Amino acid sequence: MAYLQQYGVYIAIVLLLMYNAAFTSNFISVDNFRTQFIQMVPVLIVALGMALVIGTQGIDLSGGAVMALAAAVIPLYIGYGLIPAAAMAIFAGCLIGVANGAMIAFIGVQPIVATLALMVAGRGIALVVANEQLKSVTNPTILSLGRNSIVGVPYSVLVAVILVAVVALLVNRTTFGKQLVAVGGSRRAAELAGLPVKRILMTTYILAAALAAVAGIVATARLGASVPSTLGNLIELSAITAVVIGGTPLTGGKVKVVGTVAGALLLQLIAATLIKNNVPDAYSQITQAVIILIAVYIQRGKLAVR
């Protein structure tokens, strides 16, 4: 069981790849993998933020709404170029993170309640910002972020790789990362050790929102359009799944960055396998649900052992 908890997700990935190599035509190819990686980028980036939040024993349901808000902001500033537009989109997303963090750290609202409120309100704000309109994005720089590659690596995947490295560094090598898992391990003990618990929680939710905003920018670039009404809808659920099957416990106190990447990859591979074998989308969703249950069951076993 302990072995499964630690390596289950990797074993599942290998098994799935072996199955596809044997039975699915055209699966094991550079082109297909490039497509799969590009498709998993938004979930992965949201999941990185989610892993931080879950590490503090919290949860963030507002990731999709932040993506939508970022998408809504881009057309307003894209005239100044990609960088200013992206900066404004991330700034707008951070405001939602501030709202989440303030409610959770300072007022003491439960994370699931606070972020549920922002999940609903955030998309509403996005629609207001966008005037409830779908806008196509024509700026060539942003389109190239979604479509072009450098030495065969798509820019969006490169962004994700950089962010994975940054978050891994943050978790494993910085004071903040250590304090974050301490707060998740025991908030009371962290407070009594003099840690700035409220500031740590606040920062974590802002980081999660900033990451979700980046996911929104990348997704918008990929689509070539700002679609605040549907972009990132329910993506937070996939992100939570990726984090949990990657070995980060919902009870907090631990953040597995590489595991989160593997979790997101596994979800992507499952979806791709089912599609390529012409299984209807509805079954794909049911399969996802089964995987969540299995992952949570394995995690529960871990708690029981402890």
Contact residues toward another protein (CB under 8 A) are 173-179, 181-182, 185-186, 188-196, 253-254, 306
DSSP code at position 109:
-
φ, ψ dihedrals at 59, nearest 5°: -155, 150
DSSP code at position 107:
I
- Check: CB of residue 273 under 8 Å from CB of residue 20: yes
What token pair was written down for 206? 């802002």
Distance of CA 170 to the CA centre of its chain: 16
The minimum distance between CB 242 and another protein, in angstroms, equals 21
Closer residue to another protein (CB): 175 or 278: 175
Closer residue to another protein (CB): 64 or 246: 246
Residue carrying structure tokens 């549920």: 116
The minimum distance between CB 253 and another protein, in angstroms, equals 4
Closer residue to another protein (CB): 191 or 281: 191
Closer residue to another protein (CB): 121 or 170: 170
Closer residue to another protein (CB): 151 or 304: 304
Give the separation between CA 57 and CA 52, rounded to whole angstroms: 9
List the one residue out of 81, 218, 225, 219 whose CA is nearest residue 141: 81
Question: What residues contact residue 298 under an 8 Å CB cut-off, 6+ apart?
Answer: 1, 4, 5, 8
The minimum distance between CB 305 and another protein, in angstroms, equals 12
The minimum distance between CB 294 and another protein, in angstroms, equals 23
The minimum distance between CB 6 and another protein, in angstroms, equals 15
